[in-house]
Homo-oligomer: A and B are copies of this chain.
């Protein structure tokens, strides 16, 4: 029997296996076999060990991770709806960030795309109320400060009056905000009053407020009012944004950029 030179230590290999399963959520035995370059027998033994540790759960054909990830974007249609536009908007927003900036990341899928771009920026301080954004930066990257507050399940954000106290303690150079609705007459609106309260609080604190909103948000009005349009400094949207609305916004002093 010819055994190959062992490439790595058993704990090291299990760690890699663990990460593979955690990142993908699930993994098949055959995939792990070829990824880790070991036999199925070894994969099974490792899976057994990881299950014993409670990190995964074995299922026929492979294993699923027990280490819950905050983000389940895969099944989230809303996030994928205008993904391309959101990426472009995020990239445009990224350009505004300077070295050493202290920035705020709001909840919402567009801002989440921006968070993904920040994984390598160790020079920044990121304040956020979004668990998903935090999860995105949890491995490495900028200094992350979470606002605290009550967890709102739908948006996976921390909201409410408890947030206020912490926000008073930090400096925010730039706040990158999302929104549900953007209307000339009604300003920024969102679904939940607590969420709205937190957003408005942030906008008061930040030196510069940058709104990331794809074109579909234009003209929409949601339930809870966040703020006037005047409290926004820069709006970043995509090419589909209605020109008429853009003009009206510029007239009110907002800078509008269409990525």
Binding site for B on A (CB under 8 A): 6, 8-12, 14-15, 25-26, 28, 49, 52-55, 59-62, 64, 67-70, 75, 77, 80-81, 83, 86-87, 113, 131-132, 134-140, 143-151, 153, 156, 158, 162-163, 165-166, 169-170
Contact = CB atoms under 8 A, between A and B. Distances in A.
Contacts of A143: 150-151
Contact of A131 (B131, B140, B169): B131
Contacts of A86: 54
A224 B62 CA distance: 41
A244 B120 CA distance: 50
Given A59-B9, A139-B153, A146-B148, A54 B80 contact: yes
A59 B10 CA distance: 8
B53 A26 contact: no
Nearest to A69: B135
Nearest to A11: B59
10 contacts: A9-B59, A10-B61, A14-B77, A52-B81, A53-B77, A54-B80, A54-B87, A67-B132, A137-B151, A145-B151
